[in-house]
Structure 1
Amino acid sequence: MPPQQEGPAISGLVTGPNASTPIPSAAVWLPNTPQLRMQGLAAPTVTDPGACNPPDNTPYWTCTDAEGRFSLPYGELQGEVELHIRKGSWNSRQTVTLTGADVPLSPLSLGMPRIAVVEGYYDHVEHLLAKMGLGELEVHPYVSGQSRLKAGTERFDILSAAELEEKVALNRLTEYDLLYLNCGIESHVFQPGEEQSLEQLRRFVQQGGTLYATDWELKVIRAAFPDALTGDEGWEGQLDQLIGTVDYPELADWLAAVPCDSGQCVNAQGDITLYHFLSGWRWGVPNPTLHPSTLVKADVDQLAQAPMTWSFRHGQGRVIFSAYHTADDHTHASDYLPQERILEYLFYHDH
């Protein structure tokens, strides 16, 4: 760890686009410009070395903590500087004036990556994205106390099956940073045998994109990344809920710091309640040779502690799978379900 440093600092809170969700382990830095080098600044104190990916070619950086807060000492620097923030595909920057005193900043919202959501028959991540600040919610006309995305307010692309196929045909997946496949997409574009389409999907991830798939879309991961799964794979019957265990310390810490509809998203033992399991929902075990991150596990009929949420890196990007759905055709009007919080975390997750 760099030496402890006293003196004035830039401090603040980093949030998602909704200006309320705290973002942990985001990198915060000042670029290593000639102006900074002339001042002879000492390296700042890093909150938790390894908790975030440091930017290149600058010693003037730190990480946000589990509550999204940071403090970045700036020594004797004076005048205007540009403060950068990065978490995965999300970036933000702000001009800050330094006068030799502490600089407390208002909450800083991360900037938008390019996002595409493919419509699915069973899962509807687009409603949660609206709750996260990427669109407006409207009251659901048929379900009391529930909300859904107000059409036309989304700050991302919603693709039908035909529109997805058109994007692939024109080799345009690289227009996006994040691609979300809802369970039950009505397209065959990523089926086994469609090697040209599957190669384009692999290239999308290889070059830094994030692919997120739920439930039945495990078949897309299996087709595009044949070595991603072991032989342990199965399906289960319909459940109202399932008790899982958070198996990733950073996620557990973050869930303990944010509220859910039940008050706590996770209990002291790391247990979490998951919902939205249709009959025939899928699960699979990632190949350990890929060094996957397993975030949530649960006991199922065929396997104890089966991975429910996991991810692995491929090139510069990553692939994420969750066995459970994010939402039905709505989301809670105000509170978050625990799995909604998990997806929110994964939105910014870059490990």
Structure 2
Amino acid sequence: MTTMRVLTTSFIALATLFAGCRDEELTNLAGGVTGQVCNPVTGRPAGGASVTADWVNPFTEKAGSKDTEADENGFFRIGGMPVTTATLTIRNEEFENQLQVDVIEREDVQLVDPACRDLPGEPGMGELVGQICNRHTGEYITEGTVTVLLASGEELVADIQPDGSFVMPDVPVGVHVVYVQAPGFQKTYQIEVLEGGQTLLEDQVVDCEPFDELSTGMIVGSICGPSDTGEGGPLAGAHVYVVQPIDGIVYESWSLEDGTFAIAGIPAPQTGLQVRAEKGGFVYTWPDVNVFTLADAPDGTNVTASVDCQELVPDDDRRYLVVQGTFDKIEQVLSRMGLTNVDLLEGVPMDPSELWSTAAFANFDTLSTYDAVFVNCGISETDLVLGLNPAVKENLKRYIREGGSLYVSDWAYDLVEQVWPERINFLGDDSVNSDAEHGEDGDYGVEVLEPGLADYVGASNVTIGFSFGNFAIVSLLDPTVTTYLRGDVGYRVNGGVSTLNDVPVTVGFSDGFGRVIFTSFHQETNDAGETETLDGPEDLVLRYLIFSL
């Protein structure tokens, strides 16, 4: 009996030792699973979801389980699992989902969750890509930058890679001017970014080859805005093009921030071409331009060689409507710029029952005959207190979408707030008329955020004067709204004056083919009640805004 007890004990010990060795071996063979889990309804990462792995160990035939929590982006890892088929249960308060995974020894299996789907980019965003070729040398640009100016004044900048390529994700949808700058090379483009799509710069080509010196030429020059005396400032974003298509192609370019432009790759020689520059309601046409081959004219035909910078002149075919107000006289700025094809509409009718908004905007056919409409500060606010007629709102939206332009100043801000509440948020209660009018009068230093405007006024910081208090204050902007000027301003509150930082003073946005401008400062009257003639940066800013319409 004693011998039997010893043998039995020895057998148990050996069995225990064998099992322990086997468990150690199984542990060494253990694998894991890692990956990203998603919400099967939305397709987006399931941040914070619980992930539970359940299995039956094929060696011990015992059930096992481990769990973890996915991080904020839905990523997780579970290790120490036997080599077998495991069931993963992913759950949170919104869903529960199960997946099967085969665990491999000594490796982490990468989970592919079918709930994770390719989703469109950030709403209102697209991607800009390209490969920049210097057609003058026949080589790709190997260094430099591609810049898109965002509406907020911020710049999106992408570096050009050694093969000339670049990628710029998350570009707001809409029409943008793109600047490409590199050593010995600069060019500007106008592109339209579509939501969730990829926009390709036209210079991405399979073979980067130089322009044929024997068969192509170019036109160069410089554009500036008109001024009362002397040369106006450089004008960015002017559209310059050859009027006559050549072999069905319109050769065109846009002026850079310094006003210069170059139209390259034109089949040459050419004689008697018309070249036209346009910016807002201003134009200039060179009537008889000859283009020579690069072999004969390596620097191209300079259409502004005799004047250094060509000032644009008013386009006589354009018409303007000004709704007159008590405190702003934008029509005088138009007159100083030589724009005389202007109709005036009384914004403070003698008969209170007459509504200027109905007279200006109720008839779309009449409204569409104007290229731009200006609504001055100090119009009758009866229309705005009553609320704009729905037909007036719809006509205004359609007018802008189809290419019209609108300028609104200061106390007329409720017009913008009622028609485009999603674009600009003004201080105070949006449902209360004039609730944003709390600005303190004075001179304020402001930043010039729009590069073209900065070049035009010749400064990145200017002083803007507000002769009267209680000007309208902008509080928040949609990302698609351009900030031209921004600064710290005084704010009248509770009988005192506080300071609001980084307030947008002058802004604008595009909708379809048209544009809307709002400015808190404007042409004002002096102490004698007479209209001031602005001769400082305020006048230049207003001129530039008119160029933008």
Per the shorter chain, which TM-score range?
A: 0.7 to 0.9
Instruction: Give 1:323's aligned residue.
Output: 520
Conserved 8 A contact 2:275-2:289: no
Conserved 8 A contact 1:84-1:91: yes
* Aligned residue identity for 2:544: Y
Partner secondary structure for residue 331 of structure 2: helix
Instruction: Give 1:124's aligned residue.
Output: 329
Seq. identity, %? 23
Describe how 1:1-351 pairs up with structure 2 within 5 A: 1=132, 2-4=134-136, 9-16=218-225, 20-22=231-233, 23-31=235-243, 33=245, 36-37=246-247, 58=250, 60-73=251-264, 74=266, 76-88=268-280, 90-98=282-290, 100=292, 102-105=301-304, 107=310, 109-112=312-315, 113-134=318-339, 154-161=340-347, 165-171=358-364, 172-186=366-380, 188-189=382-383, 192-230=387-425, 232-233=427-428, 234-256=436-458, 266=459, 270-289=460-479, 291-300=480-489, 301=498, 303-328=500-525, 329-332=530-533, 336-349=535-548
Distance 2:519 2:227 in 1: 23
* Aligned residue identity for 2:274: E
Structure 2, unmatched stretches of 5+, are 1-131, 137-210, 350-355, 429-435, 490-497
Conserved 8 A contact 1:12-1:108: no
| Shift in CA distance, 127/89, structure 1 to aligned 2, threshold 3 Å | closer
* Aligned residue identity for 1:196: A
CA deviation map 1:195-231 (0-9, x unaligned): 2212212221121111111110111101111222336
| Shift in CA distance, 8/336, structure 1 to aligned 2, threshold 3 Å | farther
Count of residue pairs brought into register by the alignment: 295
- CA displacement at 1:282 relative to structure 2: 0.6
Conserved 8 A contact 2:426-2:473: no
Larger radius of gyration: 2
Distance 1:79 1:193 in 2: 54
- CA displacement at 1:247 relative to structure 2: 2.0
| Shift in CA distance, 253/230, structure 1 to aligned 2, threshold 3 Å | same
- CA displacement at 1:174 relative to structure 2: 1.0
Structure with bigger strand share is: 2
* Aligned residue identity for 1:29: Y
Task: Give the TM-score normalised by structure 2.
Answer: 0.48
Partner secondary structure for residue 175 of structure 1: coil
Conserved 8 A contact 2:445-2:464: yes
Partner secondary structure for residue 483 of structure 2: strand
CA deviation map 1:112-143 (0-9, x unaligned): 23221211100111222222222xxxxxxxxx
Structure 1, unmatched stretches of 5+, are 39-56, 135-153, 257-265
* Aligned residue identity for 1:195: P
- CA displacement at 1:85 relative to structure 2: 1.8
User: After the TM superposition, which parts of structure 1 deviate over 6 Å for at least 4 consecutive aligned residues?
Assistant: none
Distance 1:98 1:315 in 2: 36
Conserved 8 A contact 1:286-1:292: no
CA RMSD of aligned residues (A): 2.9
Conserved 8 A contact 2:439-2:472: no
| Shift in CA distance, 96/164, structure 1 to aligned 2, threshold 3 Å | farther
Whose RCO is larger (CA < 8 A, sep 6+)? Answer: 1
Partner secondary structure for residue 299 of structure 1: strand
Distance 2:252 2:504 in 1: 35
- CA displacement at 1:238 relative to structure 2: 4.1
